[in-house]
Amino acid sequence: MTSLKTTIAGLELETCIYNASGPLCTTAEELDDLGQSMAGAILSKSATLEYRAGNEKPRYYETGWGSINSMGLPNEGYKFYADYAKQAAQYGKPYIVSVSGMGFEDNATIIKHLAGNENIKAIELNLSCPNLPGKPQTGYDFEQSRALLNRVFEVAQQPLGVKLPPYFDMPHFEMMAEVLNDFPISFATCINSIGNGLVIDTDQECVVIKPKKGFGGIGGDFIKPTALANVRKFYTLLKKDVDIIGVGGIKNGMDAFEHILCGASAVQIGTQLMREGTGCFARIAGELQEIMNKKGYSSINDFKGKLKDME
């Protein structure tokens, strides 16, 4: 029997496919839907200290090849995501909270509060929100990233991983890996959207989302090669006990296969989840199993990370 079971951060997942933080994971109803779906885990929308309404709408736009968003961190505030954990427990799959405080102390406060909660199985610390006007992404500042990790590991109790922005330059991969390898991180999720793209409606000669004069994070087909490169690089550079979680451009079983071949222990679905709803998890899982069957693989460990170089 083909199995899609995996382990991330020491947690067992029945299937290696679940949601990216962002789409359809903000409200209790949305989180319940994820719980009832075939997703292998439930990951929350990035939480801040307080409730946030987010940026002005329209703030998400979908086109043939993918999406652009500048949501501005709409979320219920961390206490809601902490309280929801009890309800999440009924679904029998790990509940993970994404944390994206507006500064070091916000992150520390949130992670300290989550620490005692046994129904929160891990924390994904977001180093890569590109949509806050005037705020640089922490993940592009290596010393800030180090300082933040120093602070949060003083208070973290659950396994903690990081959500990274995409990197494009070889020294940058190495510089970030050097920082991360100095901390007991459990996983690295690669990648967040490619920040600050621009999509245009040529009929209207106008941008398609309202915040930030139309600039926003890009998801979908075009980001897959960048996502695969980031998964591959961090798989080779990070300590071997750090799980890589692949996200970016996955809409079918073959895309998931590619991410795992590059080294991903699990994959997350963003743009395609928005497009298709939670039915995408069962569909992509079925497609991945079919590919594995054809290739004679019975578990993802049979091919995880085994991408070959050319002779």
- Supply the residues annotated as catalytic: 129
- Evaluated on CA atoms 256, 273, 115, 5, the torsion sign reads negative
- Euclidean distance between CA atoms 309 and 311, whole angstroms: 6
Residue 124 or 257 with smaller CB distance to ligand DHB: 124
Q: Which of 115, 117, 218 is nearest to 160 (CA)?
A: 115
Residue ranges that bind ligand DHB, judged by CB under 6 A = 22, 46, 69-73, 100, 126, 128-131, 192-193, 217
Q: Which residues touch 190 (CB under 8 Å, ≥6 apart)?
A: 164, 166, 227, 230, 231, 234, 244, 245, 246, 247, 248
Residue 110 or 129 with smaller CB distance to ligand DHB: 129
Residue 16 or 68 with smaller CB distance to ligand DHB: 68
- Euclidean distance between CA atoms 311 and 308, whole angstroms: 9
- Euclidean distance between CA atoms 265 and 187, whole angstroms: 9
CB of 305 to ligand DHB, least distance (A): 25
CB of 202 to ligand DHB, least distance (A): 25
Q: How many residues does the chain have?
A: 311
Q: Which residues touch 287 (CB under 8 Å, ≥6 apart)?
A: 252, 253, 254, 256
CB of 57 to ligand DHB, least distance (A): 12
Chain residue whose CB lies nearest ligand DHB? 71
Residue 130 or 214 with smaller CB distance to ligand DHB: 130
The alpha carbon of 76 is separated from its chain's Cα centroid by a whole number of angstroms, namely 18
CB of 260 to ligand DHB, least distance (A): 23
